[in-house]
A and B are shown apart, each in its own frame.
Chain A
């Protein structure tokens, strides 16, 4: 396959960037999107140019490191697929592909396609854990959890924290990420005890970095793990309860 790439190049956080055009020739349709970028980079290095900087780690869709805007959609055109799992057969020979980093004030650009997503870590630090020791693996079997509840918590826990929800949201809101992290713990008995403290403090950090949800549902379609906005509704309900219950300690 031969493709024309328009790639956002930006040397550093505080310098202006712009799109650069690259010809990606002779790309296998079985290559992943990142493998295609590897090939382009290899040729750039051989020509003595700076390679395109992009984040990646596991390349099997579970680490959440990769993720760029591909033709105006986070993680590209295929639903429920992270950038690393997107294959070039999704595109047609001769296509032009525009690649841009996530844009959000919470995700400043580090270089080229790399953004700093540490606000997500701060949201987790604010309550994305259970403070007591919940035991070893076998201890999990001592707590009876209905299958439906376990499945729902697992759906939420599938979040890999890639930031596509923020990137997709016209408001730059991080509701899908935060609500998934909340639901993952709040639905289970081990997490339920700290449900309201957790909800209030994680939402507080989220709001200090990101925008506000207007229920457009764009995040849900961009999420590589297809996490449902039903979790956002759950978070909204819990937050008001939390504010009421925690009112004496505020």
Chain B
């Protein structure tokens, strides 16, 4: 008789009360990791929306976006905090969110692979699982690679990635970078991947966090579509605007 054996011990060894904070215990479980992914995803989404809105300033000319980038570095909450401190608080928060999001995704993917070691031998026909939801891991990896490239390109100004980069010249830097068609193409591709990722993510986070109410459930999909179209539409417009000479 074949019997299934649990991949991990069903009952964790008894822990002295208060020894491990409950939030750490929660992260030790798969449902806890999903929570962490949803919350870190919300932080990431907030950043992505703000990033797109801020970049719209490139349509008002070099002065507008250069001034904005200067303010982000020097002016955030100044003089309550010294220069760049608030920027670093935000950066560290985003880095923490990204680390948690990627770690949880990795751990859950391992768990899911283990849950079906032998796949279906006949063709699987999906009814509800759409392309976006089934490619989250791949779109996530594309976005991760893009973040690394994007930082090297326009934040750090790595010589090999963006030779024309100059400190403080946000407008000139982005025009120099995006006027290279292969780079612009990568930006477009990465944003399409990001679009698929946040489209499923926005809908999914409501389920994960248990924000489910039959009166509002039908709006969750519309919200996911709306945010995705606005954010990704804005992001896609930037490389296109540079390539067509609208910006530059």
Contacts and interface: CB of A to CB of B under 8 A. Distances in A.
A159 to B, nearest CB: 18
Contacts of A248: 17-18
Interface in A9-49: 12-14, 19
Interface stretch (B76-84, B119-127, B191-199): B119-127
Contact of B115 (A8, A72, A172, A233): A172
A98 B117 CA distance: 21
Chain B residues touching A, majority SS? loop
The CB with the most chain A CB atoms within 10 A, among B10, B117, B130, B217, is that of B10
Contacts of A233: 206-212
A207 interface: yes
Given A105-B114, A237-B209, A69 B120 contact: yes
A108 B2 contact: yes
A57 interface: no
A218 B129 contact: yes
A250 B211 contact: no
Contacts of A106: 4, 115
Interface stretch (A80-88, A136-144, A208-216): A208-216
A55 interface: no
B32 A240 contact: yes
B136 A214 contact: yes
Interface in A192-250: 203-205, 207-218, 220-222, 229-230, 232-240, 243-244, 247-250
A116 interface: yes
A122 interface: yes
The CB with the most chain B CB atoms within 10 A, among A69, A122, A247, is that of A247
Contact of B210 (A6, A105, A236): A236
B129 A170 contact: yes
A109 interface: yes
Interface string B4-15: 101111111001
Nearest to A247: B22
A208 B6 contact: yes
Contact of B214 (A203, A216, A230): A230
Contacts, number: 185
A51 interface: no
B128 A220 contact: yes
Given A100-B121, A171-B112, A204-B29, A236 B209 contact: yes
Contacts of B133: 214-217
Interface in A162-208: 170-173, 203-205, 207-208
Interface string B45-68: 000000000000000000000000
A148 to B, nearest CB: 10
Interface residues of A, number: 64
A240 B11 CA distance: 17
A73 interface: yes
Contact of B9 (A98, A208, A213, A237): A208
A240 B2 contact: no
B124 A72 contact: yes
B185 interface: no
A110 interface: yes
B92 to A, nearest CB: 25
B148 interface: no
B229 interface: no
Nearest to B14: A250
Nearest to A77: B125
A146 to B, nearest CB: 15
B116 A207 contact: no
Given A207-B30, A240-B31, A212 B112 contact: yes
Contacts of B214: 230
Interface string A102-130: 01111111100000101100100010000
12 contacts: A72-B122, A126-B10, A170-B112, A209-B4, A209-B6, A213-B34, A216-B134, A217-B129, A233-B208, A240-B210, A247-B22, A247-B25
Given A105-B117, A210-B115, A216-B129, 4 more contacts: A98-B123, A108-B4, A207-B111, A211-B116
Interface of A: 6, 8, 12-14, 19, 69, 71-73, 98, 100, 103-110, 116, 118-119, 122, 126, 170-173, 203-205, 207-218, 220-222, 229-230, 232-240, 243-244, 247-250
